[in-house]
Amino acid sequence: MTYQSSITDLRHTIENAGAPWAAIDAESAARMKLQNRFPTGLDIARYTARIMREDMAAYDADPAQYSQSLGCWHGFIGQQKLIAIKKHFGTTNKRYLYLSGWMIAALRSEFGPLPDQSMHEKTSVPALIEELYTFLRQADARELGGLFRELDKAREGGDEVEAKRLQHAIDNHETHVVPIIADIDAGFGNAEATYLLAKKMIEAGACAIQIENQVSDEKQCGHQDGKVTVPHEDFLQKIRAVRYAFLELGVEDGVIVARTDSLGAGLTKQIAYSKEPGDLGDQYNSFLDCEEVDAGQIGNGDVLITRDGKLLRPKRLPSNLFQFRAGTGEDRCVLDSITSLQNGADLLWIETEKPHIGQIGGMVNRIREVIPNAKLVYNNSPSFNWTLNFRQQVFDAWTEAGKDVSAYDRARLMSVDYDSTDLAAEADERIRTFQADAAREAGIFHHLITLPTYHTAALSTDNLAREYFGDAGMLGYVKNVQREEIRQGIACVKHQNMSGSDIGDDHKDYFAGEAALKAGGEHNTMNQFAAA
């Protein structure tokens, strides 16, 4: 529906209402309606799910069409990210938001900062989704409000060409609302608990839910030790629970991202149930670290399984956890991924210990032997030392190629002493092209950084504190923050406008007319940034 047709429809509605609605202006109502394009979270989830499905199909046709996101821990951060993307690239196409369980635990828990072990309130996850979309919807309202003001100015000046241009811009306005891939951790309990939380997340606007195969009450960060996985059937119940939640709420295109932590998880909490040799439970149990025993060797409390006519005792730790055989991680990841895709998941997430395209691609190729269109969401994690990892990869590649590496100490490649070397330059180029290369060679549809804004907030605050509380004083803020905001065109330099002051003034005009007491008068100090 165009801007003008919306005005016409509302004018008809108001006229039919008669005298009680006589003071309502159809165009003002049309503007408010357009500024609130997505009244509910379910409207957002349905809209963004379609976008994500279209992007997945585009990637299947051309791996260069991968998508990206950054993790955001506050609505304002997500809003500024999307405003920046539109400013620099003119479109939000294939740019999403990522909601990290780690950042919720560390930054959004009522208990205070917590490790990534699902100890935070589960309701804080849908609350952050709702907050992010509230800020993105306000970004729409702010941008459209600016276009409406320009349109009024063009009309007042009699500039019909400019008025038509602005009406076209309004009709074709691209929303800041984009898909969110939201982390539900290990589901916060059993399958029923997963279903209930998934519904809350979807109702808040999530079109994509990421769930991992760790034990819910033993959950660890994917980049830390002590991870414990569950048998496949336990995990598949939770995948089905999320799908039922999407379908119940009418988000048929909802996306499930199945994450396997098996590469770094050496433990399981339970032995899988198996009916017959070769079934899924038996395959899971085949990875257990076992020793063969006979009847005379059975000890008190031993847990035993049989395979191929042999009596086996799985290695059980004092924690009552069972240990997998060393070196089985990749095989377990492949089996986890195949079974997840065969049972309702749409995308995979393989948590690795390093960003190595060969390692990731090797597993994806094996998965694609069974599921040809399998594709990944991949964590370009800040837990990786990207500089050291890629310098070591180049060092190893040069060594294998017979190139002289005597000038380099592999263990010290992070050193600033190597920053100007050819090895460092090649490593940086590999980092620069990592996403495109991995999308092409390792089946990665979506690249994300889980915790980037956590780190940027810390870095920028450290820099400001050093300058402002040091000799620079106020110049530390003016030179390094405000002056750069003005010169780089950062929208929030006009922080009153960003917080909704102009939107509020527009509403005062609609509601009170000439009696409106507005904030945007000539004495508003934001006018000092009129040329910014």
Active site (catalytic) residues: 221
The DSSP symbol for 216 reads G
The span from the CA of 226 to the CA of 218, in Å, is 8
Q: What does the alpha-carbon distance between residue 226 and residue 119 come to, in Å, rounded to a whole number?
A: 16
DSSP letters along 331-397, please?
Answer: HHHHHHHHHHHHTT--EEEE--SS--HHHHHHHHHHHHTTSTT--EEEE--TTS-HHHHHHHHHHHH
* The two structure tokens encoding residue 17: 């209402």
| Six-digit token string for 495 | 């922080």
The HSE-up count of residue 484 (CA atoms within 13 Å, CB side) is 8
Rounded to 10 degrees, what is the CA torsion of 483, 489, 493, 494? 140
Neighbours of 187 (CB within 10 A): 31
507 CB contacts (<8 Å, ≥6 apart)?
A: 32
Alpha-carbon dihedral 212, 218, 221, 227, rounded to 10 degrees: -80
> Would you say the C-alpha torsion 325, 331, 334, 338 has a positive or negative sign?
negative
The DSSP element (H or E) to which 290 belongs, if any, is strand 290-292
Cα dist. 182→63, 98, 169, 197, 511 in Å? 23, 6, 31, 12, 38
